[in-house]
């Protein structure tokens, strides 16, 4: 039997709601991070801010929760801040990592249930979108000078124009995708949004770069099986509360 993890929460409402839902599904009580000291057991927590990011280095096993890949809760970005508009979407739950690799052999049913249209792969495009990580992500994943280094790496394999985009950009990503050849990021879940729009996504993160690497910038692939696999890595709050999420994770991890 797997060990029941410590469910660690911060004072932020998102952490309280999401981890509270997960804790209910495994019949335990959340522990506030200010009082948490037990690193002998696995832990589950939400996000990397307000001290949670430091916890992952102190335990052997952890479960990381954050916004999902598809149909996640609605968000808006303004002046460097993220505003949550609802909590009715999906959240990714990952064991001992922060992202799913996309590998696996899952059925299509969870993805099909989302009723998401997949566009055909783009065969033309004016530029490459380079998705700049937030300052928090840069710090946590040690991505100093990532934009500069990644532009230099991309330029080894293509002479296409590169458009740097971030959460503060005035032009919405959806509009850029209409004319994009490829999408490049370290680990942005927007990469999966790009692939749904027919734009291959390329990653520098070690877990994700098996999907498409920068070396493949002129010949990126869109493998529909990746969508099926990561759809089994994201869950709603109701599924967490019912215990379905915990049951699945322990059956297949």
The per-residue pLDDT for 167 is: 87
Asked if the model's pLDDT at residue 251 lies above 90, the reply is: no
The per-residue pLDDT for 124 is: 93
What tokens appear for 189 in the block? 């879940």
The per-residue pLDDT for 197 is: 97
CA 116 to chain centre: 18
d(CA 168, CA 151): 19
Q: How is 145-160 classified by DSSP, letter by letter?
A: THHHHHHHHHTTT---
Nearest alpha-carbon partner for 202 in 235, 251, 134, 156? 156
H or E stretch covering 63:
strand 62-67
Using the 8-state DSSP alphabet, how is residue 207 labeled? T
**Average pLDDT score over residue span 140-160:** 97
d(CA 143, CA 188): 13
What fold characterizes domain 127-229?
Rossmann fold (3.40.50)
Asked if the model's pLDDT at residue 83 lies above 90, the reply is: no
Please report, for the chain, the start and end positions of each structural domain, with discontinuous segments joined by +. Answer: 6-100+233-252, 127-229
Asked if the model's pLDDT at residue 63 lies above 60, the reply is: yes
Asked if the model's pLDDT at residue 84 lies above 80, the reply is: no
The per-residue pLDDT for 107 is: 96
For the entire predicted model, the pTM comes to 0.91
| Whether the Cβ atoms of residue 187 and residue 137 lie closer than 8 Å to each other | yes
Q: Which residue has the tokens 């530029």?
A: 127
The per-residue pLDDT for 47 is: 96
Per-residue pLDDT tens digits for 103-128? 999 999 999 999 999 999 989 999 99
The length of the chain in residues reads 253
Residue 86's pLDDT band (cuts 50, 70, 90): low
Mean pLDDT of the residues in the chain:
93
The per-residue pLDDT for 88 is: 82
Q: How is 217-244 classified by DSSP, letter by letter?
A: TTS----HHHHHHHHTTEE-HHHHHHTH
Per-residue pLDDT tens digits for 186-210? 999 999 999 999 999 999 999 999 9
């Amino acid at each position: 039997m797997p060990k029941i993890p410590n469910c660690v929460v911060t004072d932020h409402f998102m952490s309280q709601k999401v981890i509270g839902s997960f804790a209910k599904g495994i019949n335990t009580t959340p522990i506030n991070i200010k009082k948490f000291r037990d690193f002998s057991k696995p832990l589950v927590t939400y996000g990397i801010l307000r001290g949670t990011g430091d916890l992952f280095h102190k335990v052997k096993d952890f479960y990381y929760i954050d916004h999902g890949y598809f149909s996640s809760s609605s968000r808006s970005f303004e002046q460097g801040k993220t505003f949550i508009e609802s909590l009715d979407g999906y959240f990714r739950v990952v064991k001992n990592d922060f992202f799913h690799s996309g590998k696996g052999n899952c059925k299509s049913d969870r993805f099909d249930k989302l009723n998401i249209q997949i566009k055909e792969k783009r065969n033309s495009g004016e530029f490459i979108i380079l998705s700049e990580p937030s300052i928090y992500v840069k710090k946590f994943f040690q991505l100093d000078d990532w934009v500069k280094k990644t532009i230099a790496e991309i330029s080894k394999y293509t002479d296409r124009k590169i458009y740097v985009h971030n959460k503060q950009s005035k032009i919405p990503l959806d509009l850029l995708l209409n004319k994009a050849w490829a999408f490049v990021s370290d680990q942005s879940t927007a990469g999966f949004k790009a692939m749904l729009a027919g734009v291959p996504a390329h990653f520098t993160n070690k877990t994700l770069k098996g999907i498409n690497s920068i070396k493949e910038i002129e010949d990126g692939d869109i493998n529909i099986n990746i969508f099926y696999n990561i759809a089994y890595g994201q869950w709603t709050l109701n599924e967490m509360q019912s215990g379905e999420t915990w049951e699945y994770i322990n059956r297949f991890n």
